A and B are shown apart, each in its own frame.
Chain A
Amino acid sequence: MTVSAAAIAKFQYIDCDPEKCVGCQLCEYACSYTKTGEYNTYRSRIRTVRAEEVLMTAIACRTCENAPCVTACTRDALTQDPVTGIIRVDAARCDGCAWCIEACDFGAISINPATKLAEICDQCEDEDEPQCIKWCPKDALVLTTPDRRAQRSRHKLLTEEVAG
């Protein structure tokens, strides 16, 4: 995976701890229901991935700074909220061409097969809290920033490698 330094941002995003994730997909149910009223993992804005039997995680929009999807969109349909970093899709402009999908290193964007519009995690702005976080039974999901994420890694390194 190649992520340019500029893509590391200060904004919050939904992060999954692969050690805690058990791959149940309940986050996808919660997301698709919240956003569409149906249960359909193809319509979830967070997606679980599994590389091997025991290797799994869930991925949603990382709210990159200078988000490459925004730059890639040829019709200026995507804008990034300067405060939250959330990517918004202008339904009048988006034509479902999928350039944004190609630009996203995280595979965090999908096209709604019915409306042909790009769909991206908006951290459940309209709800009390991100619904995937609420539903994850293993507390694998958190709203974090790259900086906090780094702190967590350093802490883990210390406890695991130094303390044994």
Chain B
Amino acid sequence: MYGYSGKILHIDLTERKTWVEEKPEEWYKLYIGGVSMATRLCWENIEPGCDALSPENPIALANGIFAGTPVPVGGKYGLASKSPLTGFIGDSLSGSWFTIALKRAGWDGLVIHGASEEWVNVFVDDKRVQFRDASALLGLGTFATEEAIREQLGDDQVRSATIGPAGENGVTIANVTNDGRQAGRTGHGAVWGSKKLKALSVRGTQGVTVADPETLMALSFEITEASQGPHTSKYRMLGTATNVLNMNKLGLLPTRNYQEGVFEDAELVSGEYLDEHHKVKVIACAQCPIACEQMSIVRDGEYKGSMTGIEYECLYANGPNLGINDMRAIIKLIETCDQGGQDAMSNGVTISWAMETFERGIFTKEDFKCAKYPEGFEPNFGNGEAAVTLAEMIRDREGIGELLSHGTRYASQQTDKERGTETYQWAMNIKGLENPGYDARALKTFSVGLAVGTRGGCHNRTAAYDPDIKGVTNRFTVDETRGKVAASTEEYAAVYDTLPLCKFIRRCFTGKADRAGAWPMIAKLINATTGWDFDYDDVDLIGVRAHTIKKAFNIREGWTRADDHLPYRWHHDPMTKGPSAGYVVTEEELEYLKDLYYEAKGWTKEGLIPKEKLIELGMADVAEEIGV
């Protein structure tokens, strides 16, 4: 087999033992890598129905098919566990050196079982596995942990995925970081923390070989050259932060906990402002010729010296969404999340829920007592220092930070139970995962894409904002085409998430990002890597299968149609300003859209998957468990 070793490494933290599982080539052809393979490994190894924070929930990791080769932006991996935030599949992607080291160590994927009694750093040193005492690493931030491990092991090519203090402290919105990149969403850091796994380190010294290196080099070079042109200039020059002004213009920029879609100070928190006042340098993920990470620094004031990479999702969540117009506070906030190891998006959206709850008089100053402010503080929208303090309190689960550390769904339910309030009405999550930076009230195709999303409120997995924003579909209305559109964008995105390739490369194959523009080239890359004979249809099926295994996972965990929902606010509270004012997605509209979507997928009205459909996809064993 080329491109794969055919081997999955299993590591049991309870027993401190390891074993190797060999997978047949046919299995790889179905699940490929990334989120698809990681979810499949999780499916095979989890105890269905288990508590996400119990030893029965495995950590599954799958390399990309192109990791360790010169295929641009192919250095990515998928990470999957049951999510403690949603109770459904938590599948994340992260980039960079870590996955390449794992590939070079000779493993296509890892499954980590059980839980350790003591804090542990698992070190995969090519074929050997060491369980190293991690007590000296406790309390260190994510980047510092990686550096400390390299120092301990005396090799600057050792790569680690780590949790920060948030994950150690049992914060549910904690994430996993490697090389300054995050497997950011759905609470992986909490799962790692529940297993006392502080870090997973890898040294891989073997070479990666492919079936047809000459072709692969030629194709990769072509794409690399194209990636320096106009197709990626947005990402290279300003990064995704440039979306701030675009979204603001469309009235879709979540502002003050999604109360509005225009922010009066958008200029001050724009990608353009960031570029002019804060940018230090642009850096790349491993194996990436684009380089989009805009490293930004605070040069003066109270947060002087804070530095981190800024992209749109973190920026909207911790900027306009909190009513904050001071970029210095925003950088500090995001740095606090990145170093502490917590999901900056969930962080921002949870804090915005707390701010609104405060402004409505349900929380008072008393509720915000902490060591730094023993008398409490007043977290009004726009108060940067209050937001920074709250992010720290979440990380440390201090005071009200304990409530907030479990995300908006838990925090609102708990508050409503204790105080008889209805704060759930502005808890902006889907399935328990906090929403992304596009307001779905006036993006109707996107609204169903988000509602049905297997991991909750995630723009990346559905990608249905794209036709709405581009005007391919009318974003303000609903019609019978939308089910198909949402199914199609979601499966399109799943191809990229499975290979995985970063979606920013999508226009560099032929200039056109659609299936016809990209799939033929992707098929060639797969064939040169593996020696297989994939064509357009095979590439397309990668996405269908990836999405199907995630959905199957959720069904086995008890998913029902009612779980495909939108936050209360998007049904009931129209915005009052800007071009998207006045719109909501009514409950009838959503139910209609769900019908259309399930039908487009070939599922039942209840959203379940027919047996034949699964068998057709080569997933007969899945059909047996959850097919109808």
Contact = CB atoms under 8 A, between A and B. Distances in A.
Contacts of A37: 209, 213
Interface string A20-40: 001111100110110011111
B24 interface: no
Interface in B267-295: 280-291, 295
A38 B283 contact: no
B70 A26 contact: yes
Given A25-B286, A33-B213, A40-B104, A53 B180 contact: yes
A33 to B, nearest CB: 7
A138 B157 CA distance: 23
B401 to A, nearest CB: 27
Contacts of A113: 205
Given A24-B286, A137-B289, A40 B206 contact: yes
Interface stretch (A8-16, A41-49, A86-94, A155-163): A41-49
Contacts of B206: 40
Contact of B283 (A29, A33, A43, A56): A56
B156 interface: yes
Contacts of A137: 224-225, 227-228, 289-291
A24 B70 contact: no
Contacts of B289: 24, 26, 137-138
A54 interface: yes
A49 B156 CA distance: 9
- Would you call the interface of chain B mostly helix, strand, loop, or mixed? loop
B221 interface: yes
Nearest to A53: B180
B73 to A, nearest CB: 10
Interface residues of A, number: 27
A29 B287 contact: yes
Interface string B190-231: 000000000000000111111001000100010011011000
Contacts of B225: 137
B457 to A, nearest CB: 29
A32 B213 CA distance: 12
Interface in B165-184: 180
B307 interface: yes
B266 to A, nearest CB: 27
18 contacts: A22-B284, A23-B284, A23-B286, A25-B97, A25-B286, A29-B70, A32-B207, A37-B209, A38-B209, A39-B70, A42-B157, A42-B205, A53-B180, A53-B295, A135-B70, A137-B225, A137-B291, A138-B289
Given A23-B283, A39-B209, A40-B104, 17 more contacts: A23-B284, A23-B286, A24-B288, A25-B97, A25-B286, A25-B287, A33-B213, A33-B217, A41-B100, A49-B156, A53-B143, A54-B283, A54-B307, A134-B221, A135-B221, A137-B224, A137-B227
Closest 3 CB pairs of A and B: A38-B207, A137-B289, A40-B207
Interface of B: 68-70, 97, 100, 104, 143, 156-157, 180, 205-210, 213, 217, 221, 224-225, 227-228, 280-291, 295, 307
